[in-house]
Structure 1
């Protein structure tokens, strides 16, 4: 395959390789050539300038990162469609990996790719000695590097340049001479040049540079030299082939541990939607990273953490590459909504890869070169600060344990390039051993300082894409009625399963008869106010709690909304639909799923909590909830299951507290969306202004009036007592079978029956509510509604015949406890 190409090299760093190489690319492109830009080594910044110069992705060629055999295939892949490739070298011509005898040097890559070399030499401090330097560079190596020309840089005057050219003589063609011009040099800082994406003047500066190169360098001769490069026999690198090779048993890049867990087929990650960080703060990533993910079947969407306030809709994976978060810390920290969204999503298990800058961004805080520490995402319990020295080194890393990207014992090559360090890392296992432990890794998160080139280790991309495809996250729109399909005993829906009172049925029927005018909810609000001993201005009738959550979500531009989980997910859905990125306070099993008010962030301006909570059944003291109220904060309490009125906040006005009630459960009317909220009159007025006219139907109004009478209150107490007896009977039966439960005050019980138990129960004819759609729970838990004694006894009988308290199989390890699953009917 013919590919005209040249390598731009120098005696040492600082001679102007990047300036000349980028200028050549830009000048040749403006002369009508389609130019492909490449960089020797792991550098990210120079390829950014190459991309700006050529209009094509900048590429890297590094034998340490990708192996010698991939250099030519990657060169051909990157240059596809181009008529000329310009490769910028690294450091001095023969400088490579320390202790590697020139491995990964410019000369090494030039030899492997059979690329002619143009030298760029800074002549500002010498004249005739330049000729000796060039002669040494041309002849020192055996076999010698194919040096075909030289460009002289930073000449002090024409006379000075002429002296150097005369000393070189006919040893080597002088292709051009550049005078001193500081205006075309890119500014630099602690990690080298400022990336092109961060410079508003980059394009204008490049235009000046291209014009200067075109005027000073013989471009036609440069093209002739490039065209003389020998043909290449290798096949271009193909990300699709690399992905298939990873998946195929025995593939060159896979390990046995990986092979056993891979989906088959090149689109094994179909359905994955991976957000890739970019913008000014995240400018470092290899072009092949995205190409491999796409080849694996993933959709790639851009994310700019400086601008975007939420992860893209439908995100199933997050890639945070390198860059300069320490330089943009204030802007990143100010984007609170995105930080909360990412923290919440990672907490839910969103597959996330973070390299270097990404690692810093996920920490609790970052302190830049100047100023105080700035809060970051907070997904990793560590702080990042500037270090006294730059860390710059090639690495070979070993994986200590299986994790999102790698498998125990697997080795990868990479590099470190940072001037920060972390303090206080204590989350998860190390990502790598280099040889010291480094980074943080779990089954869903991989974060470290190590940069890896996935073209050299394509299995990393395939694993990440596969994990993103498998990730669904909690289905916040899932409800128990999806479980209760025909033919199954319904233990999933929390609706009282007895007949409705005749007086309620009669009121509903009459409302249909009288539905010849638009509904007016004022009578219902008056009845509800009387029931709770409050003024009518405190009451807003709603189309169930769902409408109330939607109104609250739209009430204000919440800066930091927080939902206490695990609980009913409708409020979070409402907040997200309204454009917010709510945070989560996730209560834990170790603490009995009980709220400690100190868990709620001080800056939260909206807090939503259920009491008792669905699905745990835990009831929080009214005093704990009222302690959350403060100036500038709204606390919304969902009392959907508080039928016995114990710990209720409905009967008194508490500033900053909104109480929601629903008639669905206790009165068995899920098809009639009837509910109300109670709060201060000014808030009721603001919420009413957001309400769609006539949203509360005539049957819902009739139900609100009918269930607010003293007769209805007596019936509600009787039903609450009956449900308590049913619940206690269910809980006692489960405990006798050795099944762990959460002490409940609601008409259901959260039980840990083991992973896969819900499907087994379905095969036995019982529908229970899955729990893994509630943030903070997994599929070892199910929620079981309290039914009449015979129905519960049938369930307990089925459990007794299958539950392994009678047979002792190997348990499943989960959250520090061994959970023994139900056995399927096939096993029985």
Structure 2
């Protein structure tokens, strides 16, 4: 027996404002400190996206047609259960579908809001648009209340009232249930529409702000305590929560990677699909077909869900590297499932836009909407099951694929054959809720575990520049540490610190000095044993649900997160746009985002406003500023900026030539810094490191830092001028003590043979062996590098 306070938000028909009120209630209750789970009756994907934004938990669907009546209560309890470090929901808010009693046609309301309310014994609050009536609303409510005794209608919220007098007239006409609130006309709190319904939350940059406004409106207009009382009156449920591990199991001890499409073009998928794959022994890693140039490392399976590829067709077509990578992976037999939008993306084209081409068909927009529940049977053995496999599904699209079926169809719908299927590919328009058909999830996981992985080397995330110079007598252009002498005052501080090593180290005075340097309070500073310790502390700070690292980037955050047991998603910046930061490319549900500034290895300095744009409620943005002190004036730094939700990591290693000391620190909000401090091992910051921090926070250090930053600019200019003269491409506008150049594959090895070590690029996600990172050095060293590059270019130039 489980006690779960819950309430169903329903309406007489579509268009009365169910989504607005349901999402607003979720947001208002969440912002009042209540743990809320959001649920949606029916197959809809878009409304759960708004629910997830409002609650910070995945939006869940409750559809008896797709999963069976017996699964509805277990799925409700699963969605409301504990989530990582978050407790179980204190209240579940369920948004209905269409009118209260409208369900599958010719079934007496099967899969309707009323049906789910009866199955889950959930009290109903009606949302009624009163903009075109007054007293008649009383009759409408009376009819809904008395129509079916199995459905408890416990209250009503009036929407789009024209005036207080109008609202009072309607209120007096409603005699069966209490009026819990009145919303007046306000188009500003409605989500924009598209040809298939509402625009997904992931595509609305202003969605989080709109939710804040909506939550405030609902708080003011609706009696939240009355809603709580109604929810608390729901009877206990006699069922166990659904668990994916009860339905599937890992075929092997391996953890192969399933690449799952996300981003703005692919927002439609049921949360349980990913949970089933994880329970079946797969690591699910998100990628964005709009921005990622490569598939996640080690991809052994691909899942392409629904969304709006036709809306983003031009941008999808422009991402040629990923289209090519997908086509190659599918051709090499990587097991791939594509639903609806995924099918379109795999076609040769969508209207005039070129797509992946893994399916020999073309997709075109039509004026006709194809919509409805389907029961489908597989005509042959294929990736998702044997011949005769039967599923319930939903179809919802305005495109058509020509030809209408492949050589081997995925499904038969009566006399109609649809989709494309084979041993390693399954693509069709049908959306299937895998929790209702877990054998599909198991079949896909079995194929992924069974060796479908294409051979593609994963970047060595533990590779470091010092590896390049360990062997042989090589000129070091690989390690991005200042190669001049240390200041005398710093060497004195390091030597003097030896006199204190008979005491346990104490970093408090160092933190005081660093706080003063950045205009912070000591409670906003934590000294660490280099940036590496800081990344480890962040990784263990909480059980991150969706950590994201923006790449190309220093790989230590990936290593730290993986060691802490997290699955890391990558957002790959576009080389054609100079690796500029695009905040909208980061998934909306990412709760941890790591970005470098200036970024190693691209040397790109992102504007401070672009970094701030990553901030979202419930998200921590970690900015790696290990090279910011090489930037004159430290423009774009957030070290002295108290932006909520931002944590800055700094290092003294590079500018001050002390990699062996391991001295770094973090700057952030006091509560975050305190949590990191509580997780830090005692005495992790050595006496020598603390002495270096105090010395490098001094006024003398500030003057020397300015001089070194200016010198770096001058020396870097000599390097970029030389690369321009040779026609070697590089990332424009470098801001760090290194330049990311693209001389081509094999050049690094030729430079090495000539006695010059540069940092290889293919160990960074998003780069290949044609890239190298070149450390800024004095002009004489740079000249030797440029002369060697010119000689290499001559060797490689074809004879005509």
TM range (shorter): 0.5 to 0.7
Question: Please, which of 433, 440, 461 is the counterpart of residue 441 of structure 2?
Answer: 461
The separation in 2 between residues aligned to 1:29 and 1:688, in whole angstroms, is: 55
- Return the alpha-carbon distance in structure 1 between the equivalents of residues 56 and 473 of structure 2: 66
Asked whether the 8 Å contact 1:102–1:108 carries over to 2, the reply is yes
Aligned to 2:350: 366
Distance, in Å, in 2 between the alignment partners of 1:282 and 1:404 is: 22
1:270 Cα deviation (Å)?
A: 3.2
1:152-231 aligned within 5 A: 152-169=158-175, 171-231=176-236
Change in 2 beyond 3 A, CA 1:691/1:106: same
Deviations 1:350-397 (A, max 9, x none): 100000000000000012xxxxx1000000011111112111100000
Deviation at 1:36, TM superposition (A): 0.3
Alignment of 1:354-753 (within 5 A): 354-367=338-351, 373-424=352-403, 427-435=406-414, 436-473=416-453, 475=455, 690-693=748-751, 695=753
Whole-Å separation in 2 of the counterparts to 1:445 and 1:342: 12
In the alignment, what sits opposite 2:141? 134
Listed as ranges, the matches of 1:91-102 within 5 Å are: 91-102=98-109
Partner of residue 65, structure 2:
64
1:304, 1:385 → 2: CA distance?
A: 23
Cα distance change, pair 135–687 in 1 and its aligned pair in 2 (3 A): closer
- Greater RCO structure (CA 8 Å; 6+ sep): 2
CA displacement, residues 185-236 of structure 1 (integer Å, 9 cap, x when unaligned): 0000100000000001111111111000000000011101100000001000
Q: 1:329 aligns with which of 310, 313, 316?
A: 313
How far is the alpha carbon of 1:23 from its aligned partner? Answer: 0.3
- Give the aligned partner of residue 107 of structure 1: 114
Query: In the alignment, is the contact (CA less than 8 A) between 1:270 and 1:296 conserved in 2?
Result: no
In the alignment, is the contact (CA less than 8 A) between 1:387 and 1:421 conserved in 2? Answer: yes
Distance 1:219 1:451 in 2: 36
Residues 276 and 318 of structure 1 are in contact (CA less than 8 Å); yes or no, is this contact kept in structure 2? yes
Q: Deviations over 1:556-578 (max 9, x none)?
A: xxxxxxxxxxxxxxxxxxxxxxx
Separation of aligned partners in 2, 1:306 and 1:31: 36
Counterpart secondary structure, 1:172: coil
Q: Secondary structure, in 3 states, of the residue corresponding to 2:37? A: strand
Distance of aligned partners of 1:455 and 1:426 in 2 relative to their CA distance in 1, 3 Å threshold: closer
1:713 corresponds to: none
Q: Which residue pairs with 1:813 in the alignment?
A: none
Cα distance between partner residues in 1 of 2:302 and 2:66: 23
Query: Within 2, Cα distance between the matches of 1:22 and 1:223?
Result: 15
SS in 2 for 1:397: strand
CA distance, structure 2, for counterparts of residue 360 and residue 281 of structure 1 = 11
CA distance in 2, matches of 1:690, 1:144: 74
Structure 1 117/688 Cα, relative in aligned 2: closer, same or farther at 3 Å?
Answer: closer
Check the 8 A contact 1:10/1:93 in 2, yes or no: yes
Match for residue 290 of structure 1 among 274, 288, 298: 274
Matched, 1:350 2:334: yes
**C-alpha separation between the residues in 1 aligned to 2:111 and 2:408?**
31
Q: Does 1:18 align with 2:24?
A: no
Runs (5+) with no aligned partner, structure 1: 245-265, 368-372, 478-515, 519-578, 582-680, 698-828
1:34 partnered with 2:35: yes
CA 1:336–1:168 in 2, change beyond 3 Å: closer, same or farther? same
Equivalent position SS for 2:247: helix
The count of residues paired between Structure 1 and Structure 2 equals 473
Greater CA drift, 10-19 or 380-389: 380-389
Q: 3-state DSSP class of the match of 1:70? A: helix
Residue 211 of structure 2 aligns to a residue whose secondary structure is helix
- Correspondence for 2:239: 234
For 1:317, the equivalent position in structure 2 comes to 301
* Corresponding position of 1:280: 264
- For 1:86 and 1:476, locate their aligned partners in 2 and report how far apart those are by CA, in whole Å: 45
Shift of 1:280: 0.3
3-state DSSP of counterpart to 1:406: coil
Alignment CA distance shift 1:474-1:72 (3 Å): closer
The 8 Å contact of residues 269 and 468 in structure 1, kept in 2 or not, is answered as no
**In structure 2, the residue corresponding to 1:455 is in which secondary structure?**
helix
TM-score normalised per structure 1: 0.55
Q: Partner residue of 2:545?
A: none
TM-score, length-scaled by structure 2:
0.57
Q: Cα distance, 1:146 vs. partner?
A: 0.2
Alignment match, 1:542: none
Displacement of 1:271 after TM fit? 2.8
Q: Please give the alpha-carbon distance, in whole angstroms, between the structure 2 residues aligned to 1:75 and 1:7.
A: 12
Q: Secondary structure at the match of 1:692?
A: helix
Structure 2 contact 251–449 (Cα < 8 Å) conserved: no
Deviation of 1:427 (Å):
4.1
Change (3 A) 1:273 1:167: same
**Against the structure 1 CA distance between its residues 696 and 78, is the aligned structure 2 distance closer, same or farther, given a 3 Å change threshold?**
same
